[in-house]
Chains A and B, each alone.
Chain A
């Protein structure tokens, strides 16, 4: 019996399915990210779990309890909204204490718990401020504290970091994970930022057009994306057109225009396939030493690495070169490209790019 179980939940707006047969089992203490482009139904899914949107079909179970039709106050879940939705007419302490008041917690205990939770999010000194007197990051912490203070079984986060600037966002990512682990709370976060999802989740649920397309650990998701959309949405990718000859042990893959063939364990359907490989799995060598030869067409300096594009018979490939101190070959220079065939994923051709 899993802790939170979302079974076949759908939401229709008229004939349009915003969420289509969403199914997911969440274990206690897990940190799950719902990842997808805007309009993929991830926020609607979260709102259905929170009870703010009624599912058109399906059930949501908390352990043995069916909560599908419970109104939000009785679900007792912690929700952090994208806009934070702080009560503008209440101080930080009053905001945080609101949920406890609703639970008729005695004043003394309320004060103690508010204090504890504000200490956890490092906001104790600002307890008497109003939301408008705080920075974005501080408001974010208030929203988290307000959701956590009621000891909810599950914490729901709707794009919690999207209103913060880049540097603060990275800082808050780890802060969020720290708080989640200190409290040990089961968490579902909605995000469209793949790096955010990869860095702090236990598992990532990728959604496209209302449907789940892959559920995996961040590492598996990155290394074995199930379709071209995911491989390009999560991280950067190179795609090479190839043909597959299927046989008993797997398939022999021939990359177009190159004469390169290799054995693949993946078994994509059909004869025409895409070979995809991450830029950081490619290396540059002398022209004669590579599996394939190419000419440098652009190079961008990213700080910790260079992103080099090379034109090859198989198409233009991006190569991530670690910044070891020496710049990579300049534009126009001939280079060789090397990779391990094991690092290639073979996917059914079609929707690639």
Chain B
């Protein structure tokens, strides 16, 4: 194993600074007592955090996003588990096409999906419906759940299932007692990734949300492109805090590198 030289370490420090800079600045500015985006050099204040919690629109959007992410991640899991079983366990015609279809939201830009959903819903007269918003998010996050479940299915020792069969377990018992427990890490990891991706999704949602279903990222985008005050920094700091906690949880449970980097 080679060691990194001093040049490499300086380079590395700069990259780390570059990656962290915007988030550090956001978190610091969030504590400013001033009315403008300034560093809290002299004193710290929580007034902008209080402002966030009193801002009805932001809170409504936050809960809206939470509900949306919970529902869409769960729906995508229920779609992905049987689909993944079909894809890994059976040879059938159109299997590759099906796999490509399920992973297509990764390749199709969210911008295009947003436009397409908007067109569909306007023809259906369903614009602004929360239920349909959930469906669009389920589509967008399905590839994440599917990929993780596919990965755990393919890496699973199928002889564990065969062993259970030889010991007298029926197909349903094998599924409940062996397959599902072994799939659980993949399912929960996929669910969490799906949750985060739904919670953070902006580009597609901005086309599909209506004033009553505005999600938090859309609300923040609108707010940031119109006025800039430290409340935006406070919201951002809160989101960074949530993301950090999620990251630590994910890392402890699954290893974030494995989850995000995948199997290559």
Classify A-B as touching or not with yes or no (CB < 8 A). Answer: yes
Could you say which of A52, A78, A87 has the most chain B C-beta atoms within 10 Å of its C-beta?
A87
Q: Are A51 and B166 in contact (CB under 8 A)?
A: yes
CB of B167 within 8 A of CB of A99, answer yes
B167 touches A146 (CB 8 A): yes
Looking across the interface, which residue of chain A has its beta carbon closest to that of B182?
A89
A50 contacts the other chain (Cβ, under 8 Å)? yes
The yes or no answer to A275 lying at the interface (CB within 8 A) is no
Decide: B163 and A73 in contact? CB cutoff 8 A.
no
Selecting from B98-106, B129-137, B154-162, B188-196, the interface stretch reads B154-162
| Shortest distance from the beta carbon of A104 to any chain B beta carbon, whole Å | 10
Known: A52-B165, A89-B181. A73 touches B170 (CB 8 A): yes
- In angstroms, Cα B44 to Cα A34, docked, is 78
Whether B168 pairs with A83 at a CB distance below 8 angstroms is no
- Which residues of the other chain, B, contact A77 by a CB distance below 8 angstroms? 166
> Given A87-B178, A89-B181, A102-B173 in contact, is the A73-B160 Cβ separation under 8 Å?
no
Report yes or no: A85 in contact with B162, Cβ–Cβ below 8 A.
yes
Chain B CB within 8 A of A287 CB: no
Is the beta-carbon distance between B167 and A52 smaller than 8 angstroms?
no
Contact A83 B157 (CB under 8 A): yes
* Residue B164 at the chain A interface, CB threshold 8 Å: yes
User: In chain A, residues 74-90, which have Cβ atoms closer than 8 Å to a Cβ of chain B?
Assistant: 74-79, 81-83, 85-89
The chain B residue with its CB closest to the CB of A97 is: B167
Interface residues on B, range: 10 to 19
Contact A86 B166 (CB under 8 A): no
* A86 and B160 contacting across the interface, CB-CB below 8 Å: yes
Closest-by-CB residue of A relative to B159 is: A85
Which B residues touch A3, using CB under 8 A? Answer: none
Q: Which residues from 39 to 85 on chain A have a C-beta closer than 8 Å to any C-beta of chain B?
A: 50-52, 71-79, 81-83, 85
24 contacts between A and B (CB under 8 A): A51-B166, A52-B162, A52-B166, A71-B165, A72-B165, A74-B168, A77-B166, A79-B163, A79-B166, A81-B159, A81-B163, A83-B157, A83-B159, A85-B157, A85-B162, A87-B160, A88-B160, A89-B181, A98-B164, A98-B167, A102-B164, A103-B168, A146-B163, A147-B166
Given contacts A51-B166, A73-B165, 15 further A-B contacts (CB under 8 A): A51-B165, A72-B165, A73-B167, A76-B168, A77-B166, A81-B163, A85-B160, A85-B163, A86-B163, A87-B160, A87-B163, A98-B164, A99-B168, A102-B173, A103-B168
